[in-house]
Structure 1
Amino acid sequence: MTNIKKVSELAGVSTATVSRTLKSPDLVTAQTREKVMEAVKRAGYRPNWLASSVKSGKSNSIVVLVPNLVNPFFMRIIEGIEQAAQENGYSVLLGDTQGRAERENEYASMVLTNRADGLIQLDHSFPFSAADAELAAAVPMVSVCERIEGEKKFPVIELDNYAAGRALTHHLISYGHQRFGIIAGQIASQIHHDRLAGIRSVMQEEGLEFDEKMLVGGSYQIETGIQGVQDLLKLPARPTAIICFNDDIAIGALHEIKRQGLRVPQDISLTGFDNIRVSPYMDPPLTTVDQPANDMGRRAVEVLLQLIKRQPLKRSREILPFHLLERGSSGPVPR
């Protein structure tokens, strides 16, 4: 097996620097880290993390709770988590919870029993059981995208969903739209409240009435988009634009709009959220909000490792930037 000396020779640094890079990468420069990691790949070096974990009492693994592994947006976040974890010598244990509390409790308990060093939560629920709640207060845990309900002590990496909701609404109003349908995701989540508040605020500023009947949905699935369009088109005055709270919903909505003999955007403009990989290749390409999902995942690991090492955080809430991507699914209000 290739040893650490070979890695140091390839990287042109000392064995101590190689060791420091692998164990505490935040203590070396980005240039040194890049050289060492490239040398590790070239040399085929496999650090003995098991031996170091026995000495330190750490498992060198983290648990990531995912409400739905099929969701392509979550996979982009996990990609960033995996990259950052591997660079820092950590393994990632994925828990596909399907939004079920008992599954969350089971996976979360791995941190309490030292089978994992920390936890990343991608849903809005508190993942520990009531019996473990007191112990969980000291657990290194970070939430991504969602804020954990009723919990302010755990760091969160998120998007400015309020501003993104405003941006989408301004975009559609600029095309003359005044009747908006909204197909939402999980109504109990903070994301829902923030995006909806952003939409409402712009409509109020523009003197437009928000029709509660135009708010439908309740999950982040393609089928939600199909049902949502069916519900919206039954209304006496159909919307001229539909805002979907993720791209999966928008894909279902696009399918149903076409099935009913209508055109996008000539009859109904449509927007999504997330910028999943297929959104530019839809017919028409989907106007959506791009979230820096990979960066979210990487940053979540960096913050979690600070908690694991008991290092102080500069802030408990980090808001990452978004980009509104205008494509062919949105256009002028029909005359």
Structure 2
Amino acid sequence: MTAKINIREIARRAGCSPSTVSRVLSNSSEKGSVKISAATCARIMAICAELDYTPSIHAARLFSRRSKVIGLLAAGGLQWDDENLARALSGTCSCLSEYGYRCLPLQYREDFIKNKEYLSIFRRCEVDALIIYGEIQDQDYLHELVEQKMPFVLLGNRINDYPAVTADQQSGMEKLVRHCLDCGADKLVYLDLCYGDSSEQRRNGFLNIAGKDAIVIPGGITVTAGYQAAAEAMKYFPDAIIAGNDALAVGVEKYLLEQNKIHVIPSELLLTGGDNIELSKYCTIPLSTFDQRSADCAKRAAEILVSHLEKQTPLHSEVLPVEVIFRRSSGKQ
């Protein structure tokens, strides 16, 4: 009867302990106080190659207490069909695969936080670290992650001094507003987002250029919110509407289309958004916007975490520049 191929069988054939095999297979042979010789490593790897053996994730955890899995937690009520979140997931997965890690998508739910599941999956070695995407209102659990020494990086939003990778959204908004002023607009209205760092960055970018007394209207993050805010915005007879994101701007276009006023863009009314979602270049009048580079930010967050896990480098924050795209809604052809 053929022996079952597992770590114990590899150890028997190599003449060493199962923990030594686990060290080698988890790339831990050069770490810690117990060193493993190059000859032993080579012998173990040769036996694995001969037997076409690939360790299970559970076997890999045997010594290292590592799963080589990083969780991507979608916070702020976001669903996985959100375009920026989908880009972040894609960027995370593609980056982690290059380092031999996997990505575990996690949904921020009330029971997930209430039952402290975010700590349980770490203690069970199901994930080694977290990337947390989206706006966060309940910040207590971040403090618990720090206390439990669970590595994490915030993605897209900054909170206190926690490590975060973000895009310079304020700069992107400033460039769009300045462009509208350069095109002759002098009465600007801003459609605000909801809450959090991303919302604050964009609002500040608008006010920095348009002036602290410029008109700001509560909006939201959806097309419906933009549609509803457009009616209020038009009462001010603006010559530029600066929407906090592309979805709001699409809502403005929908409102103007139903009012048979879509023709005022861009000859009488300039319109800009933010995020560069796919729809922004295909809507009735293509939108000027900026790309917050969700995939690139996610890749960088993943790299920071992998480096921390593998080389013990300190977690830190980074800000990536945005790309501003001018299209017909602000006068560009």
TM range (shorter): 0.7 to 0.9
Residue 196 (str. 1) matches residue 203 (str. 2): yes
Q: Distance in 1 between matches of 2:194 and 2:27?
A: 39
Aligned counterpart, 1:276:
277
Bigger mean CA offset, 109-118 vs 67-76: 109-118
Aligned counterpart, 1:32:
none
Q: Alpha-carbon deviation of 1:57?
A: 0.8
Q: Distance in 1 between matches of 2:319 and 2:146?
A: 28
Q: Distance in 1 between matches of 2:24 and 2:282?
A: 44
Q: Distance in 2 between matches of 1:21 and 1:285?
A: 52
Q: Alpha-carbon deviation of 1:73?
A: 1.4
- Between the aligned residues of both structures, percent identity stands at 24
Letter in 1 for 2:241: I
Q: Alpha-carbon deviation of 1:157?
A: 0.6
Aligned counterpart, 1:215:
217
Aligned counterpart, 1:6:
none
SS in 2 for 1:93: strand
Q: Alpha-carbon deviation of 1:116?
A: 1.2
Change (3 A) 1:126 1:302: farther
1:29-108 equivalences in 2 (<5 Å): 48-67=56-75, 68=78, 69-97=80-108, 100-104=109-113, 106-108=116-118
Q: Distance in 1 between matches of 2:123 and 2:269?
A: 51
Residue 138 (str. 1) matches residue 149 (str. 2): yes
Q: Distance in 1 between matches of 2:270 and 2:24?
A: 54
Q: Deviations over 1:70-107 (max 9, x none)?
A: 3211111111001112222222221233xx55444555
Cα pair 2:194 2:221 within 8 Å, conserved: yes
Q: Deviations over 1:32-77 (max 9, x none)?
A: xxxxxxxxxxxx9966444222231112212211131232111111
Q: Alpha-carbon deviation of 1:285?
A: 1.1
Aligned counterpart, 2:245:
246
SS in 2 for 1:143: strand
Q: Distance in 1 between matches of 2:239 and 2:92?
A: 39
Q: Deviations over 1:155-194 (max 9, x none)?
A: 111111221121111011011112222222222x112222
Cα pair 1:23 1:89 within 8 Å, conserved: no
Bigger mean CA offset, 130-139 vs 259-268: 130-139
Letter in 2 for 1:74: L
SS in 2 for 1:329: helix
Letter in 2 for 1:243: I
Aligned counterpart, 1:168:
176
Cα pair 1:23 1:88 within 8 Å, conserved: no
Change (3 A) 1:130 1:117: closer
Q: Alpha-carbon deviation of 1:133?
A: 2.1
Change (3 A) 1:277 1:54: farther
* Structure 1 unaligned residues grouped into runs of 5+: 1-18, 25-43
SS in 2 for 1:230: helix
Change (3 A) 1:134 1:157: closer
Count of aligned positions: 280
Whose radius of gyration is greater, 1 or 2?
2
SS in 1 for 2:60: helix
TM-score, normalised to structure 1's length? 0.74
Aligned counterpart, 1:124:
135
Cα pair 1:61 1:91 within 8 Å, conserved: yes
Cα pair 1:64 1:92 within 8 Å, conserved: yes
Runs of 4 or more, structure 1, over 6 Å off, are 19-22, 44-47
Change (3 A) 1:287 1:104: farther
SS in 2 for 1:125: coil
SS in 1 for 2:329: coil
The RMSD of aligned alpha carbons is: 3.0
Q: Alpha-carbon deviation of 1:303?
A: 0.8
Q: Alpha-carbon deviation of 1:304?
A: 1.4
Q: Alpha-carbon deviation of 1:306?
A: 2.4
Aligned counterpart, 2:227:
226
Residue 330 (str. 1) matches residue 330 (str. 2): yes
Q: Distance in 2 between matches of 1:162 and 1:95?
A: 28
